[in-house]
């Protein structure tokens, strides 16, 4: 059983992001100088240009049968093709060690003229390309016009996926501290977390090597992406990034504006702050999403466990106290207050689970064991699917990829983090004040305090030379708060913002909002920029 507070940082591997101080000499010259400054930069390595991807079926025979049993559609999976593209580990040493990046492609389905490839990053960091293409995705119009392509970023999945460290020790340290208010924690209580986090960072450096960790960050993922674009035969990149993928896309626009065709950035992330500050802001986002749900519950649900927004916190406190006094069993595990908070937090990812949240809370209030048995298991399973390992099942393995190490390594590489645990405690104090039920994520980024020196990504970039970019934001997004979408749309000089007035984490391409999907489809296919200030109504 995972501790509830763990979900914010590890469970939300799909959303916690990277990006940091201005080390512009780490960027390539192809896109010109960054607004944050510029220094001498190495030319793009010629030896990696003009690669031909040798595509072959990803799933055949028994592997295909196993993938179908995991929930995939046979014809879709059978059509998927896999290949590799080589990139340098260190762009300053292009003749040195290389990494073979794993690619997945769903060929265009249309009989008409193919536009090119649409490269998709499903989020993360630490999420594999298989997650983006395991299931049939996007509209028939888009699938007809583009080859859909995704990839495992360096250090993830089949691109030399990183596995290191003992996260259980960090989990246990957080569990031990959970009973004490952050402002009351003394150094002796923080020591186990400090030790576990330091040991985790040291183990990753020993396992992966400092050279690998130094080059794992998003600044190099972006340079890899341009080599992938070239190998796909596209003069300019068409890209769809969800959550962390919005950072990849935004930094690509800054670095390679003249290699950019169209970028859709859905569920924008914050790129300037430390991991601790970003985790705090994310916790605030979860609280705002919770309040968004409660408002809907009170005003629109036939049965709502709350009488008002103002009284919902006290009502939840009572529900959580009942669970601690007599926790029900799900999958032979007790569900106490932290576990239930985690289940609710994960369910906020999907606005169509709001009814499930309300019914689960009502079941506890009414002490209705039958109703608990009805509503708890599905929420519990969904929470594990959302907050557990982020990779889609792969037919040749018994279990999906564990993304914790890759997520941590990329986050730590990308951000400038404090080295004193007191800074993390102070952020956790603010987190606890902002959200009584959905905090704890700050503690999970403490390993970054002890991480090996890395190449950090720039901040404050504006991509002034990029073509029009579309940012999509959801008002009730729990994991990437709507304010981050507003900030990114303002930061990027050529960006426009499309707003979805509902809840959930990201929205484009799910068939939920025709308003969002049609506008973005038109942009991707015809380069028609959505009307200024486009706002689409929620679908509940």
Q: What is the pLDDT of residue 439?
A: 84
Q: Residues 89-100: what's their mean pLDDT?
A: 95
Out of 42-51, 146-155, 273-282, pick the least confident: 42-51
CA nearest 299: which of 312, 281, 315?
312
Contact yes or no for 502/514 (Cβ under 8 A): no
Hey, which residues are catalytic here?
243, 477, 505
Return the pLDDT at 146.
98
Query: Beta strands 98-106 and 146-151: pairing type?
Result: antiparallel
Tens-place pLDDT, residues 304-345: 999 999 999 999 999 999 999 999 999 889 999 989 999 999
Confidence of residue 9 (pLDDT cuts 50, 70, 90): very low
Domain count, the chain: 1
Rounded average pLDDT over 43-53: 84
pLDDT attached to residue 371: 96
pLDDT at residue 209 is higher than 50:
yes
Q: Rounded mean pLDDT of 359-363?
A: 97
Q: How confident is the model at residue 378 (pLDDT cuts 50, 70, 90)?
A: very high
Rounded average pLDDT over 492-515: 97
Helix (H, G, I), strand (E, B) or coil at 360: helix
Please give the pLDDT value at position 388.
54
Nearest Cα neighbor of 335 from 281, 299, 376 is: 376
Quick one: which of 48, 229, 209, 49 has its CA closest to 147? 229
**Chain-centre distance for alpha carbon 99:** 23
Residue 463 has phi, psi (to 5 degrees) of: 45, 55
| Residue 436: predicted pLDDT | 86
The whole-number pLDDT of residue 384 equals 84
- Range(s) of the domain holding residue 253: 48-161+218-273+458-536
Confirm whether 251 is domain-assigned.
yes
* Cα–Cα distance for residue pair 3/179, rounded to 1 Å: 12
Nearest to 261 by CA among 462, 529, 532: 529
- C-alpha 510/C-alpha 138 separation (Å) is 7
C-alpha to C-alpha distance for 351 and 369, rounded to whole angstroms:
25
Domain assignment of residue 207, yes or no: no
Q: Which residues of 11-45 are buried (b: 16+ CB within 10 A; e: fewer)?
A: bbbbbbbbbbebbbebbbeebeebebeeeebeebb
- Contact (Cβ atoms closer than 8 angstroms) between residue 39 and residue 25: yes
Q: Mind listing the pLDDT tens digit for each residue in 286-305?
A: 999 999 999 999 999 999 99
User: Which pLDDT band holds residue 130 (cuts at 50, 70, 90)?
Assistant: confident
User: What is the C-alpha to C-alpha distance for residues 263 and 265, in angstroms, rounded to an integer?
Assistant: 6
Euclidean distance between CA atoms 250 and 259, whole angstroms: 13
Give the pLDDT score at 217: 94
Of 5-14, 152-161, 316-325, 411-420, the least confident: 5-14
Quote the pLDDT of residue 402. 53
d(CA 291, CA 293): 5
pLDDT band at residue 197 under the 50/70/90 scheme = very high
386-424 pLDDT per residue, tens: 765 333 333 344 444 455 899 999 999 999 999 999 999
Taking residues 451-467, what's their average pLDDT?
89
37: in domain: no
The count of C-alpha atoms lying within 13 angstroms of the C-alpha of 249, restricted to the half-sphere facing its C-beta, is 35
How many other β-carbons are positioned within 10 Å of the β-carbon of residue 205? Answer: 19
For residue 209, what are the β-bridge partners?
A: none
pLDDT at 1: 21
Q: Half-sphere exposure of residue 353, counting CA atoms within 13 Å on the CB side?
A: 23
**Domain-embedded: residue 84:** yes
Residue 417 included in any domain: no
Give percent of the chain above pLDDT 90. Answer: 79
Helix (H, G, I), strand (E, B) or coil at 359: helix
The DSSP H or E segment spanning 356 is helix 354-365
Regarding predicted confidence, which is higher, 179 or 253? 253
Q: Is residue 313 in a domain? A: no
Q: Are 497 and 286 in contact (CB under 8 A)?
A: no
Least confident of 157-171, 253-267, 383-397, 447-461: 383-397
* Cross-sheet strand order for the sheet of 469-476: 56-57, 81-88, 98-106, 146-151, 116-121, 237-242, 260-266, 469-476, 495-503, 535-536
Would you say residue 139 lies in a domain? yes
In a domain, 258, yes or no: yes
**135 has pLDDT over 80:** yes
Cβ-contact 524, 309 below 8 angstroms = no
User: For position 83, what pLDDT does the model report?
Assistant: 97
Cβ distance 465 to 518 under 8 Å?
Answer: no
Mean pLDDT, rounded, of the chain:
88
**Tens digit of each residue's pLDDT (9 = 90 or more) over 165-181:** 989 999 999 989 988 99
pLDDT score of 28 more than 80: no
Among positive and negative, which fits the CA dihedral 66, 72, 75, 76? negative
CATH code assigned at 265: 3.40.50.1820
φ and ψ of 298, to 5 deg: -65, -40
């Amino acid at each position: 059983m995972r501790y509830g507070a763990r979900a914010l940082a590890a469970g939300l591997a799909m959303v916690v992001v990277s990006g940091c101080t201005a080390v512009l000499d780490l960027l390539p010259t192809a896109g010109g100088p960054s607004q944050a400054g510029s220094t001498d930069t190495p030319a793009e390595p010629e030896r990696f240009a003009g690669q031909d991807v040798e595509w072959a079926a990803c799933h055949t025979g028994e592997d295909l049968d196993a993938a179908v049993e995991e929930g995939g559609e046979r014809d879709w999976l059978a059509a998927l093709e896999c290949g590799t593209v080589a990139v340098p580990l260190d762009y300053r040493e292009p003749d040195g060690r290389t990494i073979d990046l794993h690619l997945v492609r769903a060929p265009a389905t249309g009989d008409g003229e193919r536009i090119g490839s649409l490269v998709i990053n499903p989020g993360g960091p630490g999420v594999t390309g298989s997650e983006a293409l395991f299931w049939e995705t996007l509209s028939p119009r888009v699938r007809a016009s583009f080859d859909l392509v995704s990839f495992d970023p360096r250090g993830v999945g089949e691109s030399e996926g990183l596995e290191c460290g003992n996260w259980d020790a960090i989990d246990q340290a957080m569990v031990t501290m959970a009973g004490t208010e952050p402002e009351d924690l003394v150094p002796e209580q923080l020591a186990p977390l400090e030790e576990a986090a330091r040991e985790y960072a040291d183990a990753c450096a020993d396992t992966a090597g400092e050279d690998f960790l130094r080059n794992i960050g998003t600044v190099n993922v972006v340079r890899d992406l341009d080599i992938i674009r070239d190998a796909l035969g596209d003069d300019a990149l068409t890209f769809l990034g969800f959550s962390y993928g919005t950072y990849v896309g935004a930094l690509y626009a800054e670095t390679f504006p003249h290699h950019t065709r169209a970028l859709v950035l859905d569920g924008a992330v914050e790129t300037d702050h430390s991991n601790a500050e970003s985790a705090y802001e994310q916790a605030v986002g979860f609280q705002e999403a919770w309040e968004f749900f409660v408002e809907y519950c009170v005003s629109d649900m036939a049965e709502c466990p709350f009488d008002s927004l103002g009284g919902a916190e006290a009502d939840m406190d009572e529900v959580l106290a009942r669970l601690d006094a007599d926790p029900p069993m799900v999958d032979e595990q007790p569900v106490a207050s932290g576990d239930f908070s985690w289940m609710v937090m994960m369910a906020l990812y999907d606005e169509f689970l709001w009814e499930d949240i309300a019914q689960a809370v009502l079941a506890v209030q009414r002490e209705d064991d039958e109703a608990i048995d009805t509503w708890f298991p599905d929420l519990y399973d969904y929470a594990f699917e959302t907050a557990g390992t982020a990779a889609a099942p792969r037919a040749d393995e018994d279990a999906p990829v564990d993304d914790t190490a890759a997520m941590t390594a990329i986050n730590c590489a990308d951000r400038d983090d404090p080295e004193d645990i007191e800074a993390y405690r102070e952020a956790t104090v603010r987190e606890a004040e902002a959200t009584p039920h959905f905090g704890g994520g700050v503690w999970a980024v403490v390993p970054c305090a002890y991480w090996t020196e890395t190449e950090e990504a720039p901040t404050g970039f504006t991509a002034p030379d990029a073509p029009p970019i579309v940012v999509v934001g959801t008002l009730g997004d729990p994991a990437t708060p709507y304010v981050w979408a507003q900030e990114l749309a303002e930061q990027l000089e050529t960006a426009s913002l499309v707003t979805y007035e509902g809840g959930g984490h990201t929205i484009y391409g799910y068939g939920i909002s025709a308003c969002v999907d049609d506008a973005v489809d038109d942009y991707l296919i015809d380069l028609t920029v959505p009307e200024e200030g486009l706002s689409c109504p929620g679908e509940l």
